[in-house]
Amino acid sequence: SVVLNIILLYRTLGSLSIFCQIDRDMEQRMTAPADAGTLRSVSRALDLLFTADPALGAIVVRSLWVSACASVLACAIGLPLGAWLGVAHFRGKGVVLAFLNTFLAVPSVVVGLVVYLMLSRSGPLGAWGWLFSLKAMVVAQVLLVLPVVYPWFSRKVVVTQ
């Protein structure tokens, strides 16, 4: 038992020293001056922005379109849901609100993973063929925006009553 504790302590201290070394390396990289590769990358990015590159323009337009569609759909779903939650009185309303408010804390990576698993070939919605499409991006963004929309509107309805 004593030997096992010593071995575990030794391994823990060894792991800590590795983390300390990684931390020191990261600190050195963060305080080091930018190298030529970084400066070339920044220069290239600025060049793409200021020369109105058509490929970059298409990417920006597509991103704005996906965000706009997701915002409209999230509002179309969230505003009536929020209004109903604001005026309705039913048993367990606090539990429902607490459950719905937990979605505010879900990381976007988790939402993306859930959408990916649902839309993958072996997933329940895989037959739709939406994986890696704009529709899938809109669905994922709707799921991200919806928990922000309905609590906001629910509080507005309650305040104005």
- Give me the count of residues in the chain: 161
What is the average pLDDT score of the chain? 78
- The token duo for 75 is 């509002």
| pLDDT at position 158 | 58
Q: What is the pLDDT of residue 76?
A: 94
Phi and psi at 33, nearest 5°, equal -65, 155
For residue 88, how far is the Cα from the chain centroid? 31
* Tens-digit pLDDT profile for residues 75-122: 999 988 888 888 888 898 888 888 888 888 888 889 989 999 999 989
CA–CA distances in Å: residue 66 to residues 19, 70, 119, 131: 40, 6, 17, 15
**Is a pLDDT exceeding 50 seen at residue 123?**
yes
